[in-house]
Amino acid sequence: MGSADVPDIVIGRLPIYLRALNFLLEEGKEITASQELADKLGISSAQIRKDLSHFGEFGKQGTGYEIRYLREQLRKILKVDREWDVALVGAGDLGHAIAHYGNFDRNGFHVVAVFDHNPRKIGAKMGRFRILDSESIPTVIQDMGIQIAIIAVPAESAQQVADTLVEAGIRAILNYAPITLNVPPGVQVQYIDPVVYLQRMTYYL
């Protein structure tokens, strides 16, 4: 299950399917069809069936998908059938909001260390976290075996933070700094820059 040959754009849609299946389960449903998912997600049912077919045969012609089973399969494929530790760099307003974003914990992503380089912040409490010195990133990441990090520092320092994280063994970075990062092959980066999304929409207004 899972293959290096599956296009990244397909992988990118799987979490959307997973989220929709969770909602259907919460609504008390047990069976769904690609058409129902299509209507919910604005993705064609043919596309959904094709995406899923990369990983096996999950539904039966005419009877649809057993939601709980398909959800478990997607969780395994995406490797979110386990818990993940996450390091957070940046203890400003944004870092605070990220550290306390309930949906991370609910989905098995646990912020376990928060770093900042500001001497006035180091050692202080931020909610349930004690802010650690950015200097200790390599030691802490290696000792705890953390593979995922979130960057919430200003754009100017984001590349340097990314370099440190990658050096320490981080293999997936969620970057909130409004800058494109250079990372070596094999390291994943995803971007959250709300301005980019707004600018993409104003084009159509």
Which residues of this chain interact with a copy of itself, rule CB under 8 A? 2, 11-12, 14-16, 18-20, 23, 40-42, 77-80, 84, 86, 93-94, 96-98, 100-101, 103-104, 107, 109, 147-148, 150, 155, 171-172, 174, 178-180, 182, 188, 190-205
CB of 163 to a copy of itself, least distance (A): 15
Say which residues have a Cβ less than 8 Å from residue 187's Cβ, sequence separation at least 6.
Answer: 166, 170, 171, 172, 173
**C-beta atoms surrounding 23 within 10 Å:** 12
3-state secondary structure 110-174: EEEEEEECCCCCCCCEECCEECEEHHHHHHHHHHHCCCEEEECCCHHHHHHHHHHHHHHCCCEEE
- ∠ CA 199-201-202, rounded to 5°: 65
- ∠ CA 52-18-111, rounded to 5°: 130
Contact at 8 Å (CB) between 128 and 110? no
Question: By C-beta, is 112 or 133 nearer to a copy of itself?
Answer: 112
Residue with token string 């409004």: 178
CB of 174 to a copy of itself, least distance (A): 6
CB of 135 to a copy of itself, least distance (A): 26
Question: By C-beta, is 63 or 202 nearer to a copy of itself?
Answer: 202
CB of 62 to a copy of itself, least distance (A): 26
CB of 173 to a copy of itself, least distance (A): 8
Question: By C-beta, is 33 or 80 nearer to a copy of itself?
Answer: 80
Question: By C-beta, is 133 or 168 nearer to a copy of itself?
Answer: 168
Question: By C-beta, is 63 or 170 nearer to a copy of itself?
Answer: 170
